[in-house]
A and B are shown apart, each in its own frame.
Chain A
Amino acid sequence: MTSRGTPSRFLRSVLQNGVGRYVCQLKRISIVFSKKAQSSLGARDFIEEGVVDYANKNPGTVVYVSPQPCRVPKIVAEYLNGNVREETITSKTSQQISELLTKLTNQSGLEIIRIRKPFHTDSPSIQGLWHPFTNRPLSIGPIRPQKPDSQ
């Protein structure tokens, strides 16, 4: 739809990721596939070859492999902020599945909707916010406290 009809959010990160250490936001990956169906062929190939390397490369992510009788093989990714993403891998090759997995690993769990601004700061002004009197000399003289006339 249009950007006005769809939800939107501001750019942010989960729990100030990156200020100190970078933490991979992917918590758990479950690969659901079937042992016999043709659509799970790529998934089976990937599990034969690439799953162990992927699990070793990402020590912070738990990988679950569950063969079930299912029509549609999918990957269920759970993130540290609680969001769950499901991607179907019907008739995908092993190479495509590994690329999809790297993409899911590099994402944080925030929703993929329109991001309103491409920047975010917690301290927007350092030298002070501009107001119309900044850098203007006074039109009247220097302001001093009024001396009482009776003195």
Chain B
Amino acid sequence: MSASMAYAGLWRTCRMLLPRHHVLSPAAIRTQSSASGDLMPWTSLSRPPWPEQPSPYSAEEEQSRHAAVVSTVNQRINLRDFGRLFAVVHFAGRQWKVTGEDLILIENHIEAECGERIRMEKVLLVGAEDFTLIGRPLLGKELVRVEATVIEKTESWPKVHMRFWKRHRFQRKRIIIQPQTVLRINGIELAPRLT
């Protein structure tokens, strides 16, 4: 569920948009000294298990391809040609993958009454069926708008916190009840000039 940020040494989390000239040959990386400091240590996850194929396109062709992709996505957004949107939102210390009409449980008290609308501002990623917009690390507030309603403010079930040491005659028992808030995500709006 979490959208982890890129570490340069782990291929699984690296984004394809990173410039190609950062990827060096394995031999060259191994001969780098550790005093340079900006290269991660070489591990089994530093490169994908399939053989690395150099890109068959030149730099200008790649740039034109990237520009074509960007213009297609912008056209889709301007014509509102997408269906259901999902977003990765950083809220209450956690990241949630969120769509419209879904429920979220926060384990603390929020300063809003039941029935009030809340806007979630830290949006890391927005996706539709055909395209995804990835923020570095956040997307702009004039691009995405994620709104939620506070539905319920309850308390959790009484959790038992017990400490016991055997053969020491030590046991403590405590009942923990935490405040909880339930949010209903009303919707995600995507527009180039939205505030």
Contact = CB atoms under 8 A, between A and B. Distances in A.
A57 to B, nearest CB: 11
Contacts of B182: 11, 13, 108
B39 to A, nearest CB: 27
Contacts of A22: 114-115, 149-151
B142 interface: no
Contacts of A105: 114
Interface string A117-149: 011111100110000000000000000000000
Contacts of A1: 160
B114 A103 contact: no
B84 A119 contact: no
Given A11-B182, A103-B155, A112-B157, A126 B103 contact: no
Given A22-B149, A121-B99, A126-B86, A13 B184 contact: yes
B133 interface: no
Contacts of A114: 157
Interface string B71-94: 000000000000111100000000
Interface string A1-18: 110001000011100111
Contacts of A6: 157
B107 A18 contact: no
B127 to A, nearest CB: 6
A17 B86 CA distance: 20
Contacts of B145: none
Contact of A127 (B101, B104, B129, B154): B129
A84 interface: no
Given A107-B153, A115-B157, 11 more contacts: A2-B160, A11-B105, A18-B184, A103-B153, A112-B156, A119-B96, A119-B104, A120-B102, A120-B103, A121-B103, A126-B86
Interface of A: 1-2, 6, 11-13, 16-19, 22, 24-25, 103, 105-108, 112-115, 118-123, 126-127
